[in-house]
Amino acid sequence: MDELDYFIENAFSLVMSGYYRTREERKGQVTSMTAALRGERAPVIAEFKRRTPSVRELSSTAPVMERLQEFRDAGVCAFSILTEPHRFDGSLDNLAVAATFGLPVLMKDFIISTDQLDAAHRLGADCVLLILEIFNRSRYNLDVLMEEAHSLGLEVILEVNSTEQYRQAMQTEAEIIGINNRNLSDLTLEQRRTERILGSERKDRPVIGMSGIRGGSEVESMMRAGADGVLVGTSVMGDNDSALREITEAAILARSKNMRK
């Protein structure tokens, strides 16, 4: 069993345990992640997580409200919230907190069930992550979950990690394609995967780069290759905001350069 197999089995266990069942009622309208990436704020989705299998404990001990305020003040266009509790110390409560800030919120999890989508909508998410590799190697149905997400008014970021998967994603109704530079099977990183794929493939919707983004140089490289923004987590969860500021400034500059081409 590799890492992704574990994540799939863990997701099934969490769904069956009732972890995602909530009686909360959504308090606001859905906000478009796609529009946010194209808006005035930096095309950066900043991720809140306490832990990650590739890095283990992250350094920030700030409360979620305080950290998200720092993200917003730095100019990011949206939040990503990890909700998987076992390997990421994620929390559905954090999703509800993020929804109070007025920026689009991505629920990032290993989604296999409509129960998870219902929780995302009820707790205030505007967008959900669906991971193409999960559906390629399991009995779960991507089309069913994407249709359900859209019926709830949620946008979809469809995550891919190869050229073949990118081409598959282009045939779907996902609003955004996310190219993950990290392999979920063994957590290894291919630093320039986003650039490699975008260098040879057409694009008809927003594409974001994900994983391995430590500072402005990675952001500039991905966006120069054609990415419309980035999702960053580990590098912005330290208690020093310099990396976050560097990333947002690089993203704004790179977008302006792309617009002048």
Q: Are 243 and 213 in contact (CB under 8 A)?
A: no
Distance CA 260, CA 237 (A): 32
Three-state secondary-structure class, residue 9: helix
**What burial class does residue 34 get, using C-beta atoms within 10 Å of its C-beta: 0-12 exposed, 13-18 middle, 19+ buried?**
middle
Segments of the chain with pLDDT less than 50: 59
| Residue range 3-19+29-260, CATH number | 3.20.20.70
Quick: pLDDT tens for 242-253.
888 999 999 999
What residue type is assigned to position 106 of the chain? L
The predicted pLDDT at position 87 comes to 86
Chain segment 63-82, per-residue pLDDT in tens: 899 999 999 999 999 999 99
CA distance 232 to 80: 9
Other CB atoms within a 10 A radius of the CB of residue 258 amount to 15
User: Can you give the length of the chain in residues?
Assistant: 261
